[in-house]
């Protein structure tokens, strides 16, 4: 009896390894090895042509003191802070509206989801067209007597423009996820709170929000990891300018690559990794604490 | 009753306004693709192209080998989806339901890679492809292998699948095991059918990513016959100017197949996402 | 079960397709060179490949069209991964960054000082030779050049009785007489196109006896009275309503949409615009003429263009050089004009009668002579590693001043600070 049990356990262990082997093989070849290689490069001075020269943590300390990089970090933080508050808030609001009994819900859901299926490059190209000085956005606001702007050429409006386009692109994803979560909250919880005489705000606060907690965590963890890596929009819409106003961390990385500063570029990635790992831990910690 | 009708009308109006904002840019893009270049920034803005022309689409088909790009995009995206569904689900099942030493460590290691921007792997990955190409001309740089292999397994997909599979009760698996089913068989006959919504999500998710991918296909392909749609369409831009009508025609043509896929699979997709995001992550 | 089988079938198809398609790519023996070309659909290089094949049947050319916007990324990755092409077209703006990193082959050595059998020195103008060399050695060969002259609507000049401006004072005068201002105070028609980029600012800066960097290239020099004067003069076109700001967000630095609807009546630009005008506004044939750019304290223009380069680790440099030489023969150089609408860079091509016959589009005049003249006093960009970033910093600074976000003085001193920062990093 015991023997056959451990035999089946052994079989299951073997099956486990067998099942992950293809995925792990791909991951090792095309994910772990490149990551290890760039981790090594981050400790060197290297241009891809002459052999790498070991410099220890110099790239890291150098980056942290370099205004260009700190500017990129600052812009990225603003991008994430605005994108990850306004975006999910709008998504939740839209989901709450879509959760009501209104006609055409399927149509609306598809409409909101539409931008998610387009690539960031495509979305950025389209927004570049809209935000053109002679574009339709300016034509629209000029109807209300507001003078048109050089949205992407002005250093005050470039980053906000990129943020708006990004929120627009991601809204559908957040909406659909929240909507799904709302629909999975058992109706009897709402009925119970109605019996207790709770108002709609109280119901939202005590039934809806707690019910959404795992989803909110999901949206934030995934969203923050994704938006800290913002690149395509900046690459297409502004090229990091004007005056570095839209220079983001990954844009900074790519530019160092272009200039063949492979050591520095790699170090940028690992600083970002550290930042993201720390943030994710903080989020899980907050979630655990607020659950008590 | 009246008050609630009014409320519903208000919500309906708000949703309509929101949808217009979401669809508007696409409508504008389609409109632009049907204009003549001189009318793109006409003031006041023209919502209905006048004169109406298909020149943009004609250019896309005559200047570029569009059908070839389309074929490449389909081959690459479909292969990536198939590989992810098979490899990803297998790995997700193992990570969710089987116990083996190092399981959590390996899964954690995979998750950490989500935090490393892809761009940093560009050169190491390209070097690997250069080396592979020396072994055989069918792999590595400028081949379908080079386009497909690095995306054959997407960590986020494994993560989503694992979340979903975790919600499948162990008792079902146990009874199958008592009947003498192997793990491979359980994966095929129980997990795949039960996890269908999640598989649909995984499929759409990887399809969207693969279809829209730009940077890697750009770097890894050199010859025209290997380019995917987004890379091929970038060739429409010239040194000093953007031809907005051609670009928008290309853009519209790239989005269309995506929309078709989504329209067919959307219900499944949302179900799967629900499971991954709502039930699993608690 | 069925589903799983379907998946297996799909994977199998994908694998087979991979094998079939990839087989087409591999070539047989003999030498083969890979050429990357960003000229696009109007490329003069693509047709030249066929002619080259006839002349040198032993060298196979693997021609690859790469788009201008992304060729830099591809070039950096490929060269640093020992997978460089043998020949690549590169914008002269990028050459400093690559040359100072040691990425470009030493063409002086490779060529033995000779291009198509004759010394290189006799075949290009002085400015062009300067643009092509780094630390005394040639690192690229110019295929087409860019230097500025004044394009203007001759029909409107005549109609309004405006004389072609010879100096800055007359330039300002002519612009304000030409532009027709609308009710909102903005120019509605025939404005001077103000392009807020480094090229155009450099035009005014050089003519005002200024420069972006000091002669040793280790410090910014544009935050000077000469720089301020140049920027103030440039900005003046917007202040008096005679200029139209044509920002980068237009996505089109040619200004063609504005030329077509006649918002633009005058602009400073390079020879490639001749081709753009002929293709884009055939209905304005005969309306445009070209004159030497109005002169400030001295003549001057930036000098740019397209360089034919051989990466330092190109597999077959000898054959690559053969191909480059072939492209620079007079016959192929003339195609730069006929196919791409740009100006060939070799003196022989520039002197060719084919390029110097009266051009009915430009009022029957001979515009090439004007650009050739501009080339004589044009100055290339400095060879510093961070030039690409410096270029952008200057563009940003100029834009902020033109948009009125900053005064000329503070815009230039900010830019200078940024440049000094970049140059300091380089010397580390």
DSSP characters over C184-233: TSSEEESEEEE--SHHHHHHHHHHTT--SB-TTSSSB--SSHHHHHHHHH
Q: C80 vs B148: CB contact, 8 Å cut-off?
A: no
Which residues of B fall within a CB distance of 8 Å from C2?
A: none
B61 in reach of chain A (CB within 8 A) = no
Give the mutation candidate from A46, A257, A260 for the C interface (greatest C CB count, under 10 A): A260
C24 pLDDT band (50/70/90 cuts)?
very low
Average pLDDT over residues C99-110: 91
d(CA B204, CA B214): 18
A63 in reach of chain C (CB within 8 A) = no
d(CA C375, CA C81): 37
Helix (H) or strand (E) holding B18: helix B2-33
CA distance A106 to chain B (A): 10
Size of chain A in residues: 292
Tokens of A289: 């604490």
Which residues of B fall within a CB distance of 8 Å from A107?
A: 19
Q: Residue A53, exposed/middle/buried by CB under 10 A (0-12, 13-18, 19+)? A: exposed
Q: Which of A244-248, B51-55, C3-7, C102-106 has the lowest mean pLDDT?
A: C3-7
Query: In percent, how much of chain C has pLDDT > 90?
Result: 58
Average pLDDT over residues B36-54: 77
Q: How many CB atoms lie within 10 A of CB A200?
A: 10
Is residue A187 scored above 70 in pLDDT? yes
Is residue A3 scored above 50 in pLDDT? no
B155-201 residue pLDDT tens: 999 998 998 898 889 999 999 988 888 888 999 999 999 888 888 88
Partner residue facing C97 (CB), from A240, A259, A262: A259
Size of chain C in residues: 428
CA distance B110 to chain C (A): 24
Partner residue facing A153 (CB), from C77, C248, C393: C248
Please tell me the number of Cα atoms within 13 Å of C122 on its side-chain side.
Answer: 7
As a dihedral over the C-alpha atoms of residue B53, residue B57, residue B60, residue B63, rounded to 10 degrees, the angle is -50
B104 in reach of chain A (CB within 8 A) = no
- Find out whether C253 and C197 touch, Cβ atoms under 8 Å: yes
As a dihedral over the C-alpha atoms of residue B73, residue B79, residue B84, residue B86, rounded to 10 degrees, the angle is 160
Q: Residue C368, exposed/middle/buried by CB under 10 A (0-12, 13-18, 19+)? A: buried
Partner residue facing C80 (CB), from A67, A153, A260: A260
Sign of CA dihedral C200, C206, C208, C214: positive
A130 in reach of chain B (CB within 8 A) = yes
B282 pLDDT band (50/70/90 cuts)?
very low
Which residues of C fall within a CB distance of 8 Å from A70?
A: none
Residue A192 pLDDT:
81
Is residue C155 scored above 90 in pLDDT? yes
Strand segments, DSSP code E, in C310-356 are 343-344
Q: Which of residues 57-86 of A touch B (CB under 8 A)?
A: none
A205 secondary structure, DSSP code? I
- Is A4 or C266 the better-scoring residue by pLDDT? C266
A40 in reach of chain B (CB within 8 A) = no
Angle, CA of B71, B76 and B80, to the nearest 5°: 150
Phi, psi of A269 (to 5 degrees): -60, -40
d(CA C74, CA B141): 12
Tokens of B65: 């080998």
Is residue B14 scored above 80 in pLDDT? yes
C26 pLDDT band (50/70/90 cuts)?
very low
B223-279 residue pLDDT tens: 889 999 888 887 776 666 667 788 889 888 888 888 777 777 777 776 666 665 555
Q: B239 vs C256: CB contact, 8 Å cut-off?
A: no
Q: Which chains touch B (3 or more CB pairs under 8 A)?
A: A, C
Q: Which of residues 229-248 of A touch C (CB under 8 A)?
A: 239-244
CA distance A27 to chain C (A): 18
Q: How many CB atoms lie within 10 A of CB C281?
A: 18
Which residues of B fall within a CB distance of 8 Å from A229?
A: 117-118
The Cα-based distances of B171 to A1, B94, B194 in angstroms read: 20, 16, 14
Tokens of C69: 């916007």
Q: B138 vs C81: CB contact, 8 Å cut-off?
A: no
Which residues of C fall within a CB distance of 8 Å from B85?
A: 7
Q: Which of A53-57, A123-127, B91-95, C245-249 has the lowest mean pLDDT?
A: C245-249
Which residues of C fall within a CB distance of 8 Å from B78?
A: 10, 14
d(CA B88, CA A167): 29
- Find out whether A20 and B94 touch, Cβ atoms under 8 Å: yes
Q: B259 vs A117: CB contact, 8 Å cut-off?
A: yes
- Is C206 or A207 the better-scoring residue by pLDDT? C206
- Whether residue B44 is preceded by a cis peptide bond, meaning omega within 30 degrees of 0, is yes
A27-40 residue pLDDT tens: 999 999 999 999 99
Is residue A5 scored above 80 in pLDDT? no
A241 secondary structure, DSSP code? -
């Amino acid at each position: 009896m015991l023997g056959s049990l451990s035999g089946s356990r052994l079989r299951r262990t073997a099956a486990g390894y067998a099942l992950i082997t293809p995925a792990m093989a791909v991951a090792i070849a095309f994910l772990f090895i490149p990551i290890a290689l760039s981790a090594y490069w981050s400790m060197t001075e290297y241009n891809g042509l002459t052999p790498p020269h070991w410099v220890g943590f110099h790239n890291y300390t150098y980056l942290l003191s370099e205004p260009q990089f700190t500017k990129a970090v600052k812009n990225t933080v603003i991008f994430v802070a605005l994108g990850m508050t306004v975006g999910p808030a709008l998504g939740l609001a839209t989901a709450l509206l879509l959760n009501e009994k209104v006609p055409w819900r399927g149509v609306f859901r598809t409409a909101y989801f539409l931008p998610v299926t387009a690539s960031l490059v495509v979305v950025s190209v389209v927004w570049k067209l809209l935000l053109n000085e002679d574009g339709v956005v300016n034509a629209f606001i000029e109807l209300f007597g507001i003078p048109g702007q050089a949205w992407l050429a002005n250093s005050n409006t470039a980053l906000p423009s990129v943020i708006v386009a990004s929120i627009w692109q991601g809204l559908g994803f957040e909406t659909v996820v929240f909507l799904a979560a709302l629909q999975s909250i058992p109706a009897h919880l709402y009925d119970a709170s109605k019996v207790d005489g709770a108002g709609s705000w109280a119901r939202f606060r005590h039934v809806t929000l707690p019910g959404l907690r795992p989803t909110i965590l999901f949206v934030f963890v995934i969203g923050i990891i994704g938006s800290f890596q913002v690149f395509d929009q900046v690459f297409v819409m502004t090229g990091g300018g004007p005056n570095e106003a839209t220079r983001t961390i990954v844009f900074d990385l790519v530019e160092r690559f272009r200039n063949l500063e492979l050591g520095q570029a790699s170090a940028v990635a690992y600083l970002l990794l550290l930042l993201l790992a720390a943030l994710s831990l903080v989020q899980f910690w907050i979630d655990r604490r607020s659950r008590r | 009753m009246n008050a609630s009708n009014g409320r519903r009308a208000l919500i309906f109006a708000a949703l309509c306004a929101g949808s217009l904002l979401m669809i508007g840019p696409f409508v504008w893009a389609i409109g632009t693709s049907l204009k003549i270049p001189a009318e793109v920034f006409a003031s006041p803005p023209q919502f209905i192209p006048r004169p109406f022309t298909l020149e943009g689409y004609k250019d896309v088909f005559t200047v570029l080998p569009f059908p070839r790009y389309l074929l490449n995009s389909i081959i690459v995206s479909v292969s990536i989806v198939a590989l992810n569904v098979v490899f990803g689900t297998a790995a997700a099942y193992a990570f969710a339901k089987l116990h083996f030493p190092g399981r959590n460590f390996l899964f954690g290691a995979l998750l950490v890679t989500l935090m490393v921007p892809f761009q940093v792997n560009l050169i190491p990955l390209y070097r690997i492809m250069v080396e592979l190409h020396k072994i055989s001309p069918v792999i590595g740089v400028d081949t379908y292998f080079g386009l497909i292999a690095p995306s054959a397994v997407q960590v986020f997909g494994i993560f989503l699948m694992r979340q979903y599979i975790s919600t499948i009760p162990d008792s079902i698996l146990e009874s199958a095991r008592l009947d003498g089913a192997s793990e491979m068989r359980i994966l095929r006959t129980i997990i795949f059918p039960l996890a269908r919504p999640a598989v649909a999500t995984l499929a759409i998710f990887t399809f969207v990513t693969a279809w829209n991918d730009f940077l890697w296909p750009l770097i890894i392909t050199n010859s025209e016959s290997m380019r995917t749609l987004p890379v091929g369409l970038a060739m429409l831009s010239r040194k000093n100017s953007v031809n907005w009508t051609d670009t928008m025609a290309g853009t519209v043509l790239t989005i269309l197949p995506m929309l078709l896929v989504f329209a067919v699979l959307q219900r499944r997709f949302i179900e799967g996402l629900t499971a991954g995001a709502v039930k699993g992550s608690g | 079960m069925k589903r799983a089988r379907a998946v297996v079938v799909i994977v199998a198809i994908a694998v087979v397709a991979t094998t079939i398609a990839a087989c087409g790519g591999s070539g047989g023996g003999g030498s083969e060179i890979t050429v990357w070309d960003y000229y696009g659909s109007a490329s003069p290089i693509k047709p030249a490949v066929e002619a080259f094949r006839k002349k040198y049947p032993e060298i196979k050319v693997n021609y690859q069209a790469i788009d201008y916007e992304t060729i830099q990324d591809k070039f950096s990755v490929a060269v640093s991964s020992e997978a460089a092409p043998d020949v690549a077209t590169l914008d002269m703006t990028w050459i400093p960054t690559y040359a100072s990193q040691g990425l470009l082959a030493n063409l002086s050595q490779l060529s033995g000082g000779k291009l198509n059998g004759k010394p290189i020195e006799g075949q290009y103008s002085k400015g062009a030779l300067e643009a092509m060399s780094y630390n005394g050695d040639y690192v690229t060969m110019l295929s087409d050049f860019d230097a500025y002259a004044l394009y203007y609507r001759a029909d409107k000049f005549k109609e309004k009785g405006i004389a072609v401006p010879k100096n800055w004072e007359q330039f300002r005068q002519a612009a304000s007489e030409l532009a027709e201002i609308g009710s909102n105070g903005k120019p509605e028609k025939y404005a001077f196109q103000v392009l807020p980029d480094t090229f155009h600012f450099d035009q005014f800066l050089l003519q005002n006896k200024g420069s972006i960097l000091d002669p040793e290239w280790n410090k910014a020099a544009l935050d000077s009275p000469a720089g301020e004067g140049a920027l103030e003069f440039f900005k003046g076109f917007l202040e008096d309503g005679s200029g139209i700001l044509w920002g980068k967000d237009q996505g089109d630095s040619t200004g063609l949409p504005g030329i077509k609807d006649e918002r633009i009546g005058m602009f400073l630009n390079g020879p490639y615009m001749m081709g753009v005008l002929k293709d884009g506004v055939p209905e304005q044939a005969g309306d445009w003429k070209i004159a030497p750019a109005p002169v400030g304290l001295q003549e001057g223009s930036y000098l740019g263009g397209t360089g034919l380069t051989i990466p330092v680790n190109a597999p077959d440099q000898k054959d690559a050089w053969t191909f480059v030489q072939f492209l620079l023969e007079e016959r192929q150089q003339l195609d730069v004009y006929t196919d791409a609408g740009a100006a060939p860079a070799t003196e022989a091509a520039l002197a060719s009668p084919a390029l110097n016959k009266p051009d009915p589009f430009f009022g029957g005049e001979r515009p090439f002579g004007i650009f050739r003249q501009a080339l004589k006093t044009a100055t290339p960009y400095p060879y510093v590693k961070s030039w690409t970033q410096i270029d952008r910093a200057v563009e940003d600074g100029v834009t902020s001043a033109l948009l009125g976000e900053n005064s000329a003085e503070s815009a230039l001193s900010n830019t200078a600070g940024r440049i000094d920062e970049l140059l300091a990093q380089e010397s580390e």
